């Protein structure tokens, strides 16, 4: 027989605005164990007094400090074979130290309908796990290099195939102290619909991997080179009479505040003026590592706009307006400093005028920036420009976009040429066919 006291459950319930959490937990255990008398259960189930002392549960209770989560690797192209399992721990003792892979977080309880549950682990611990994996001991690359097509070795002859041959790592290597090595951090996130049954369950996983691992190995689902870093909240903010614009801004702010909480340890660890992080490789060698945010891979264009605070319909890479995307000449590139300066200036102006986030968002949208009265998560990352971190969306923008568009346009022209019904519906655009229609496509390089 074991006595159990729900330690700190009352305080946790007050923190999440659920004053009866202690009683609800007690009732859940009672229902699972079915060990209390009917009279005791009936009296407690009708008690609403938060100060009432709950009776002890006279049964053995096993407390598990870990759980197994199933997830898909973001590079999986093999269906269910890419399904992996990861153990998430929350224990007071793990090899002599405390380990908490999940936390309960309140993002901003001062705003109406704005609370979230985030489960995440320390990104430094995740990087350390990949760095020290014996399976990658002979595969990790610790220093950048330059590759050329011929003996001229000019910038025009550069070849880029891996992250250590790109410009970012080569430039950043000169910014850190001598003897240090860079761990280019690759972050991937995408909200995923799990099932349409049982209330349309969804998940918002965030994954982490390293550019030190060769891409041929990094993309293999069975290599376990991709670590589940966090589960963001998928709960919709409470409407409570709020407008659609305000709800949209709540979702924007929720994402950026959540990612700030998840990735914040990387800012200090990757500071070139700091000492970095000592990590032991799979071969036993000790390295002084500076983790830097190098790439953020998202599922589609709307997520790119969300991450970079870009107005939907414009380019997240350059400052060209939505009405000038067809112009072949290059526009000025977007920079992190430029975007943050616009948001910061508008935010300061709105505070002076006593306006809220909705007014700030409207003002920033005039400069093709989707900002508000919150700070983007990428502010403060050393040697990082979020607009250059965004990777091309090959699946949606190239394969399903350009190639599918070309296929459907050619099919449309063929049917028009050979006398298809001009009033039949186009399977791609939903517009009726017209023998006099002019169809043109343009792909911006």
List, as one string, the DSSP characters of 49-79: -TTSPPPP--S-----SEEEEEEE-TT--SG
Residue 355 lies in a domain: no
- Tell me the per-residue pLDDT of 62-82, one tens digit each, with 9 for 90 and over: 666 666 655 544 444 444 444
Over range 300-307, report the average pLDDT. Answer: 88
> What's the pTM?
0.70
Q: How far apart are CA 340 and CA 375, in angstroms?
A: 8
E-strand stretches of 197-344: 202-210, 227-232, 277-280, 286-298
- Tell me the per-residue pLDDT of 234-284, one tens digit each, with 9 for 90 and over: 877 667 777 888 888 888 888 898 899 899 999 999 999 999 999 999 989
pLDDT of residue 401: 65
DSSP secondary structure, 162-191, as one string: SGGGSHHHHHHHTTSPTTEEEEEEEEEE--
Question: Where do runs of H (alpha helix) occur along 155-308?
Answer: 167-173, 215-218, 244-269, 301-308
Residue 390 lies in a domain: no
* 3 and 130 both lie in a single domain: no
pLDDT of residue 373: 79
* 147 and 222 both lie in a single domain: yes
* 204 and 283 both lie in a single domain: yes
* 109 and 220 both lie in a single domain: yes
Residue 387 lies in a domain: no
Residues in the chain: 445
Residue 122: count of CB within 10 angstroms of its CB:
15
Over range 381-402, report the average pLDDT. Answer: 80
Residue 441 lies in a domain: yes
Contacts of 169 (CB under 8 A, 6+ apart): 144, 163, 182, 184, 211, 294
Residue 360 lies in a domain: no
Provide the residue range defining the domain that includes 428: 400-445
Q: How far apart are CA 255 and CA 201, in angstroms?
A: 19
* 277 and 142 both lie in a single domain: yes
Residue 421: count of CB within 10 angstroms of its CB:
9
pLDDT of residue 82: 46
pLDDT at position 46 over 50: no
* 32 and 101 both lie in a single domain: no
* 426 and 291 both lie in a single domain: no
Residue 48 lies in a domain: yes
| Cβ neighbourhood burial of 285 (10 Å; 0-12, 13-18, 19+) | exposed
Whether 30 and 36 have beta carbons less than 8 Å apart is answered as yes
Number of domains in the chain: 3
Averaged pLDDT score across all residues of the chain: 76
């Amino acid at each position: 027989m074991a006595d159990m006291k729900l330690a700190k459950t009352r305080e946790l319930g007050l923190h999440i605005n659920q004053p009866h959490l202690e009683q609800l937990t007690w009732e859940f255990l009672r229902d699972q164990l079915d060990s209390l008398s009917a009279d005791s259960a009936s009296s407690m189930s009708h008690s609403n007094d938060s100060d009432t002392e709950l009776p002890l549960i006279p049964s053995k209770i096993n407390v598990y400090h870990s759980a197994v989560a199933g997830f898909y690797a973001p590079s999986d192209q093999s269906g269910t074979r890419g399904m992996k399992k990861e153990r998430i721990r929350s224990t007071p003792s793990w090899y002599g130290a405390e380990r908490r892979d999940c936390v309960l977080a309140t993002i901003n309880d001062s705003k109406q309908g704005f609370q979230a549950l985030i489960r995440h682990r320390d990104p430094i611990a995740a990087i350390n796990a990949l760095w020290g994996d014996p399976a990658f001991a002979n595969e990790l690359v610790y220093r950048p290099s330059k590759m050329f097509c011929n003996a001229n070795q000019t910038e025009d002859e550069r070849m880029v195939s891996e992250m250590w041959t790109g410009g970012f790592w080569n430039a950043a290597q000169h910014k850190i102290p001598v003897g240090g090595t860079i761990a280019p951090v690759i972050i991937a996130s995408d909200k995923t619909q799990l099932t349409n049954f049982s209330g349309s369950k969804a998940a918002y996983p965030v994954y982490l991997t390293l550019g030190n691992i060769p891409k041929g190995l990094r993309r293999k689902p069975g290599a376990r080179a991709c670590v589940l870093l966090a589960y963001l909240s998928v709960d919709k903010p409470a409407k409570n009479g709020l407008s659609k614009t305000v709800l949209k801004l709540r979702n924007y702010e929720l994402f950026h505040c959540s990612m700030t909480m998840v990735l914040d340890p990387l800012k200090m660890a990757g500071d070139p003026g700091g000492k970095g992080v000592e990590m032991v490789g799979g071969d036993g060698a000790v390295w002084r590592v500076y983790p830097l945010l190098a790439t953020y891979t998202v599922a589609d264009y709307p997520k790119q706009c969300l991450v970079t605070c870009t107005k939907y319909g414009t380019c997240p890479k350059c400052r060209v307006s939505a009405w000038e995307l067809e112009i072949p000449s290059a526009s000025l590139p977007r920079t992190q400093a430029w975007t943050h300066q616009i948001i910061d200036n508008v935010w300061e102006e709105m505070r002076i005028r006593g306006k809220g986030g909705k007014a700030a968002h409207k003002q920033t949208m005039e400069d093709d920036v989707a900002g508000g009265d919150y700070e983007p998560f990428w502010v403060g990352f050393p040697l990082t420009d979020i607009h250059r971190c965004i990777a091309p969306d090959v699946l949606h923008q190239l394969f399903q976009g350009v190639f599918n568009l070309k296929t459907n346009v050619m099919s449309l022209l063929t049917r028009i040429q050979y006398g298809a019904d001009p009033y039949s519906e186009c399977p791609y655009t939903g517009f009726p066919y017209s023998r006099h229609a002019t169809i043109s496509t343009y792909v911006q390089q």
